Amino acid sequence: MEKTKIAVVGLGTIAQLVHLPILSKLSNVELVAVSEINKTRLKTVGEKFGIKNQYTDFQQMLSQQDCDAVIIATPTNSHTEIAIECLKSKRHVLIEKPISRNLEEAREINAASKKYKKQAMVGMNLRFRPDAMLMKSLLGSGELGDIFYIRCGWLRKQSSEQKWFINKSQSGGGVIIDLGILILDLALWIMDDHKMKSVSVQKFSHNTKDVEDSAVGMIRFEGDHIISFEVSWDLHAEWDKFHLAAFGTEGTAHLNPLRAYKRVATNRIDYTLPNQSKNTNLFKKSYENELKHFVGMIRQEGPFASSSEDAVVLMRLLEAMYESAESQKEIIL
């Protein structure tokens, strides 16, 4: 069977710990080239994974290498340029979240995807957690009734210690665009087909200057559906805490660990699965599922999950969230 040829641009932590190890083990994938502006890192990582085609200039890589798709794992401020050039050269792209620094750039990438008829996927790995997919299936069946309220949050240390990460002109923002975009994408995916009405957010910068390190907020939907969230690099907790609870008219489901209950008269049915995977395994599996989906859709020419079209909607939400936090007002969407 002919292999799907993939190149990777950006060889930082996520590429070294996630993309390259997983892709190198997929029997239907060939890692044809890597690109990285840091020459030492390029040589070290390229040799570690046995990739002989190494470039400091991604455009040179695009012009010289035959590949079907490119994974973009660079700092956020470079996503737009690289993604558009890849799409223009007729390659599909997987962009590590967030798609871009702002809504305008997200629209540019999505427009390029349509113009050049190649798909752009954004790395929203929480959708691909096995427990999240099980929860989505259960809620989609209607077993727990109408899901009217989702409460979610993520409290953990800053995702990167690199200077660009807390420089707004390079990253686009702080914890909202880092952790918030992931947990909210998951909540919106689970809430499913409901139209957003307004958003209200309060953000804090206790240990950062240029970006926020904590935020809490609420998204209102038509039909009285609500999502509330909290995200922080700074709130004190005993451990990193990722949580999501979906409340329905007939029952409730929780993530991390996965638990689900349905009310029947004065009793309840417990849907909780025994012998669940550990959290670290779930995160690893989420990336494996995400990359397998990316490769599979390239081969089948099917629609990508978490597409650039979805990302535009999400970035519009984030723009309104930052506007709400700055103005101290609820923003109508």
Separation in Å, CA 1 to CA 4, 29, 79, 92, 125: 10, 10, 32, 20, 27
Mean pLDDT of 145-169: 93
- In this predicted structure, the answer to whether residue 255 has a pLDDT above a threshold of 90 is yes
- In this predicted structure, the answer to whether residue 238 has a pLDDT above a threshold of 80 is no
Checking phi first, is residue 317 left (phi over 0); if not, alpha (psi -120 to 50) or beta? alpha
Residue with the bigger pLDDT between 45 and 281: it is 45
By CB neighbour count within 10 A (0-12 exposed, 13-18 middle, 19+ buried), where does 85 fall? middle
Half-sphere exposure in the Cβ direction for 13 (13 Å, CA)? 5
CATH topology match: 4-126 vs 129-286+314-332: no
Residue with tokens 């009285």: 224
- Domain extents in the chain: 4-126, 129-286+314-332
Tokens of residue 73, six digits: 């794992």
Mean pLDDT of 131-149: 95
Model pLDDT for residues 88-107, shown as the tens digit of each residue:
999 999 999 999 999 999 99
Q: How confident is the model at residue 277 (pLDDT cuts 50, 70, 90)?
A: low
- In this predicted structure, the answer to whether residue 53 has a pLDDT above a threshold of 70 is yes
- In this predicted structure, the answer to whether residue 275 has a pLDDT above a threshold of 80 is no
- Give the integer Cα–Cα distance in Å for 244 and 147: 13
pLDDT (0 to 100) of residue 193:
74
Residues 6+ apart with CB under 8 A from 21: 49
pTM for this entry: 0.94
Q: Provide the CATH topology of domain 4-126.
A: Rossmann fold (3.40.50)
Instruction: Average the pLDDT over each of 66-75, 202-211, 230-239 and give the range with the smallest value.
Output: 230-239
pLDDT (0 to 100) of residue 272:
81
Do 127 and 305 meet the contact criterion of CB atoms below 8 Å apart? Answer: yes
- Give the integer Cα–Cα distance in Å for 7 and 66: 9
Return the number of other C-beta atoms located less than 10 Å from residue 212's C-beta: 27
Residue with tokens 């049915």: 269
The conformation of residue 218, written as its DSSP 8-state character, comes to E
- In this predicted structure, the answer to whether residue 212 has a pLDDT above a threshold of 90 is yes
Q: How confident is the model at residue 283 (pLDDT cuts 50, 70, 90)?
A: confident
CATH class of 129-286+314-332: alpha beta
Do 99 and 121 meet the contact criterion of CB atoms below 8 Å apart? Answer: no
- In this predicted structure, the answer to whether residue 236 has a pLDDT above a threshold of 80 is no
- In this predicted structure, the answer to whether residue 132 has a pLDDT above a threshold of 70 is yes
Tokens of residue 67, six digits: 């590949």
Average model confidence (pLDDT) across the chain: 94
Instruction: Average the pLDDT over each of 49-58, 77-86, 251-260 and give the range with the smallest value.
Output: 251-260
- In this predicted structure, the answer to whether residue 276 has a pLDDT above a threshold of 70 is no
The conformation of residue 273, written as its DSSP 8-state character, comes to P
By CB neighbour count within 10 A (0-12 exposed, 13-18 middle, 19+ buried), where does 195 fall? exposed
Residue with tokens 């008269």: 265
Residues 6+ apart with CB under 8 A from 245: 150, 151, 152, 252, 253, 254, 255
- Give the integer Cα–Cα distance in Å for 25 and 27: 6
Return the number of other C-beta atoms located less than 10 Å from residue 249's C-beta: 10
